[in-house]
Amino acid sequence: MQQYRNGDLTFDVDDSGPADGELVVLLHGYPENRGSWHAVTPLLTAAGYRVVAPDQRGYSPGARPLRRRDYRTQLLAGDVAALADAAGAGKVHVVGHDWGGAVAWAFASLHADRCTTVTSLCTPHPKALVASMVRSSQLARSWYMLLFQLPYLPELSLRGSGAKAARRKLIATGLPAEAADRYLAPLVADPAAARAALNWYRALPLSAPLRGSIAVPAMYVYPTGDAFLGRKAADLTARYVSAPYRYEVLDGLSHWLPEEAPEQVASLLLSHFRQQAS
């Protein structure tokens, strides 16, 4: 499968591993794309899992609606359900990094019957993140989320000298230079792609808050060198999971776990999957 559809949207997707393996869905963050998982995927498929990694809504050229309301979290979770349908899977292991982690939490909440396990890399449960805003330095770390609410100006930050500054910032926070260039290139080349990626942030005030707690086995992986997300929200996430929960802290690693530590990420994922199968 190279593409799948949800309504009138068409998504590009990488599909690897045995067709009869348990399905693992890998969800990228901002400003990444499905290429962020290239080093993780073969480690999972070698263990017998089928792995699908889509370019999510706004990142796939055929799935780029104009309105910010079309990027609400509940719709992004629906894209994952449509992907599971297209792959012929009743239930999936869903794994997300950065914004993909927020979608993974939403999928586990809204589509619990389709979710075998959920794993979030870096991104805490949304309620934990909100709680940490007034109990830690998280609000200061999240300044860019407020900036991205503005019209037009954030798109300009991905052009000319702004694009160079964005590249330097990503590299300074731990993303390899090659990956920064690869992720920024489509956003710099196409203003529609930049707007769509930023609309994820602009849709935040329109997204319905998650209700209840996560009722499927969950793992949260927090790197202590994360420049964007603080430890307080990480520690609070356990409060919002009622199922078996695993909290892993990786000392010294940066926000960009799939690129920086693919072997550690894959090892943790395989352990989590197998623990729930035993």
Backbone angles phi, psi at 121, to 5 degrees: -95, 120
pLDDT for position 145: 64
DSSP type of residue 214: B
Rounded distance between C-alpha atoms, residue 175 and residue 132, angstroms: 25
Predicted structure pTM score: 0.95
pLDDT for position 158: 81
Per-residue pLDDT band for 278 (boundaries 50, 70, 90) equals: low
Residue range 38-95, pLDDT digits in tens: 999 999 999 999 999 999 999 999 999 999 999 999 999 999 999 999 999 999 999 9
Which residues are marked as active site?
A: 98, 201, 255
- Residue 232 reports pLDDT greater than 80: yes
Beta bridge partners, 118, equal 94, 218
Q: What is the CATH number of the domain that holds 71?
A: 3.40.50.1820
Domain residues for the domain of 231 are 3-277
Residue range 143-164, pLDDT digits in tens: 566 667 767 767 777 888 788 9
Strand ranges of the sheet holding 245-250, from the earlier edge strand across to the other edge: 3-6, 9-16, 50-54, 23-27, 92-97, 115-121, 218-223, 245-250
pLDDT for position 196: 95
Residues 6-10: what's their mean pLDDT?
97
What's the total number of domains in the chain? Answer: 1
State the residue for tokens 């395989």. 270
Query: Among 45, 217, 71, which residue's Cα sits nearest to residue 149?
Result: 71
